[in-house]
Amino acid sequence: MAVTQLDPPGGHGRPAAQPASASAALARCVAVEPAKFAAAHWGQTPLLSRADELPDPAGFTDLFSPGDADELLSRRGLRTPFLRIARDGELVPPVRWTGGGGAGAEIGDQVLDERVLEQYAAGATLVLQGLHRNWPPLIDFARDLGLALGQPLQVNAYLTPAGNQGFATHYDTHDVFVLQVDGRKHWRIHPPVLPDPLEKQPWGGRADEVAATAQGPAALDVVLAPGDALYLPRGWLHSAQAQESSSLHLTVGVRALTRYALVEELLALAVEDRRLRAGLPLGIDLSDPDAVEPELTETVEALRDWLLRVDPTALADRLRRRSWPAARPAPIRPLAQAAAIDTLDVDSRLTLRPGLRWQLVPEAADRVALRLFDRTVSLPAECEPAVRALLTGAVGRVGDLPGLPDDADRLVLARRLLREAVVVPG
C-alpha cells in the first residue's frame, strides 16, 4: 500500500525547522557557514577551525573536562566497553585494568581507578567511549549536532599523557570532528589510501599502504590548542601526539549512511524476484569462468529488470528502520513521566520528545500507525489530527487537541502518548 505522507512540513518525521541549538552546535565545530561546509568540506577535505574563529571563546570544557573524566573513572562504576586503554599503538587487555567493585558490586568488568592510574602514568591513552549516552552535556550536544547534520553521532574522549601517542597512523570509517578540550596535540593528516571506506574496510587491511603514505609529506601538519576544532572526512589518515602537557580531546564520529547502504537494502528487497531466487544449473563448475559467464549475464539482466521495478516507498521504509534506531531521542525521566500521566488534566501542556523522529501513515481503514525509532504505535484513525497537531507543535494544551469528540478522549490519547514516551510535559 502506498504511504500517504501525513508528517509535518519538514517531512519524514523531521521537524519543519531545526531548533536554534542545532545550528549553534554545528557552529561550535566549523568556522565556515553551513552551506560552505557542506559544499566544500563534507566528505571531501579536512577543515581546521581555530578557537578565535569559533563562537565560544571558552572552548569545550562545558561539554567535558579533565575533572569530568576523573569523575567518570573514579565514582561512576564505569564498565567495559565504555573505556579502552591504548599504549604503544596497541590496546591494553581489559583484564589488566578491570575487576570487581567490592561488596554488592562484584561483577568483574568494572574499571578500577588504581589500575587506570597505573596505565596512564606509564604513558597509556585512555579512551572514554559512548559519552553521548552517559554524560549529560554531551547527550544534548550530540543530539543537537546530529539534528544539524541529519546523521547519527557517537562521542568519545581521548586522554593522552604528555609526549605520548595512543594510536599509530590510521584512518576511520566515519567522518569525525575533533574538539580540543585541554592541552595541545600535534596532528599529522595525510590523504586517503582508500577514499570513502566503508565500515567493512578498516585500515588494518591496508596497514602497509597506510604506513608508507604516512612517511610522505602531510596534507595538514598542525598543533591543536584548547578551543580548536578539526573536521576529517572518513578515510583521511591521521596520527596525534600530546605535546608538553597532557591532552584531552573529544572525537565526534558521524555514522552516516552511504550509497552502498542503498545497494544492501536493494539486494535485500531483491528476494522478492523469482528470477534472482533461481538456483544455478546442476553440476555447474563454479571455478570455470566460461561456465559462470552465462549465469552472470542472466543474473545481471534479472537484477537490472528488478531495479527498474523497485518501489521507492519500500526502499525508504527499509532505510528508515535501519537509520532511525542509530540516533536516540532525548532521554526521558521515567518517574517524572509516570507522575505526569497520573496528574494529567485538560490544562496540561505537552510537547514532542526532543530529537524524536516519527511518521504517521494509514494502517487500515479505521487505524493510523505512528512509526517511531523502535516501534510502531497503532491508533484509531480519528486520533490522526490530534496527534499531528501535538507533534508538530501546532497545539500544546491537552484540552485543545482537535478532531476528538470530548475531553475524555483527549485525555486518553495524551496519556497513551506520554506512556509511549512520544511526548513529554511541556
Maximum distance among all alpha carbons in the chain?
76
Residue 393 burial (CB count, 10 A): 14
Q: Which three cell numbers stand for residue 77?
A: 562504576
> Are 94 and 108 in contact, with CB atoms under 8 Å apart?
no
Question: pLDDT tens string for the chain (426 positions)?
Answer: 233 333 433 344 444 467 899 999 999 999 999 999 999 999 999 999 999 999 987 899 999 999 999 999 999 999 999 999 999 889 999 999 999 999 999 999 999 999 999 999 999 999 999 999 999 999 999 999 999 999 999 999 999 999 999 899 999 999 999 999 999 999 999 999 999 999 999 999 999 999 999 999 999 999 999 999 999 999 999 999 999 999 999 999 999 899 999 999 999 999 999 999 999 999 999 999 999 999 999 999 999 999 999 999 999 999 999 999 999 999 999 999 999 999 999 999 999 999 999 999 999 889 999 999 999 999 999 999 999 999 999 999 999 999 999 999 999 999 999 999 999 999
For 168-237, where are the alpha helices, taking DSSP H only?
207-214
> Are 111 and 78 in contact, with CB atoms under 8 Å apart?
yes
Distance set, CA 20 to CA 147, 220, 396 (Å) = 10, 32, 20
Collapse the DSSP code of 227 into the 3-class scheme (helix H, G, I; strand E, B; otherwise coil) and give the result.
coil
Residue type, 304: R
Residue 399 burial (CB count, 10 A): 14
Distance set, CA 397 to CA 333, 346, 425 (Å) = 21, 7, 10
* Non-local CB neighbours of 367 within 8 Å, separated by 6+ positions: 378, 379, 380, 381
Collapse the DSSP code of 423 into the 3-class scheme (helix H, G, I; strand E, B; otherwise coil) and give the result.
strand
Q: Which three cell numbers stand for residue 182?
A: 585541554
Omega before 137 within 30 of 0, i.e. cis? no
pLDDT in tens, 159-196: 999 999 989 999 999 999 999 999 999 999 999 999 99
Q: Which three cell numbers stand for residue 311?
A: 518501489
Please state the pTM of the whole predicted model. Answer: 0.91
Sheet containing 376-380: order of strands: 359-364, 367-371, 376-380
Report the b/e string of 108-120 with b at 16+ CB within 10 A: eebbbeebbeebb
Query: What are 180's strand-pairing partners?
Result: 249
Q: Which three cell numbers stand for residue 35?
A: 552551506
- CA–CA gap between residue 329 and residue 325 (Å, rounded): 9
Half-sphere exposure of 62 (CA within 13 A, CB side): 9
Query: What are 48's strand-pairing partners?
Result: 230
DSSP codes joined into one string, 15-53: -SS--HHHHHHHHTT-SS-HHHHHHHTTTTS-EEE-GGG
Distance set, CA 104 to CA 72, 81, 113, 246, 425 (Å) = 19, 21, 18, 35, 36
Q: What is the mean pLDDT of the chain?
A: 94
pLDDT at 166: 85
Residue type, 393: G
- CA–CA gap between residue 6 and residue 359 (Å, rounded): 7
